[in-house]
């Protein structure tokens, strides 16, 4: 099974959580590709740079921050153009500044799943980490439990 962790991070919060997932999965001896989406920034505008492949992965963990209560523009652009395997197993991780899921986290996760609905994904887990929360470490641990239970995701 080929696993792809595909993520976008500007401040390093999403990067850090995705690195943790990668380390857990690689420590279990799994084949994990770690792919960072990059963006060109002009003023306040961001646009996706390049189109990393996604169709090679049986399982994808998509990591994204919340921007303006939504998916960031580069992630929206990626999900609109990338090709995934039909029925791909999908986990979604969102990191957000605010301390409540309803302040963008839930919407961001739902937007990511909806953007990939054309591939009929099998969503095996989602997680939201509030980067300013006193319970951040607890949330990261819960996210790792949700997104790295590969034996359950492969059934």
Say how far apart CA 51 and CA 89 lie, in whole Å.
20
Full domain range(s) for residue 73: 2-153
Say how far apart CA 19 and CA 82 lie, in whole Å.
22
Q: Is the pLDDT of residue 154 over 70?
A: no
What does the pLDDT look like over 25-61, one tens digit per residue?
Answer: 888 888 899 999 999 988 888 889 989 999 999 999 9
CA-closest candidate to residue 132, choices 92, 108, 93, 96:
96
Q: State residue 61's pLDDT score.
A: 92
Instruction: Tell me the CATH number at 107.
Output: 3.40.50.360
For range 9-32, the mean pLDDT: 89
Buried b (16+ CB within 10 A) or exposed e, 87-114: ebbbbbbbbbbeeebeebbbbbbebbbe
Domain count, the chain: 1
């Amino acid at each position: 099974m080929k696993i792809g962790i595909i993520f976008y991070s500007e401040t390093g919060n999403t990067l850090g959580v995705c690195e943790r997932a990668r380390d857990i999965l690689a420590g279990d001896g799994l084949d994990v590709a770690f792919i960072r989406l990059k963006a060109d920034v002009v003023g306040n505008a961001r646009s996706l740079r390049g189109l990393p492949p996604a169709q090679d992965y049986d399982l994808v963990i998509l990591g994204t921050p919340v921007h303006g209560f939504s998916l960031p523009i580069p992630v929206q652009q990626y999900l609109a153009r990338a090709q995934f395997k039909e029925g791909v197993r999908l986990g979604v991780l969102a990191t957000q500044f605010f301390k409540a899921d309803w302040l963008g986290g839930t919407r961001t996760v739902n937007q990511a799943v909806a953007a990939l609905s054309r591939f009929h994904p099998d969503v095996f887990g989602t997680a939201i980490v509030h980067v300013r929360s006193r319970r951040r470490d607890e949330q990261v641990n819960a996210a790792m439990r949700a997104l790295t239970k590969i034996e359950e995701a492969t059934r």
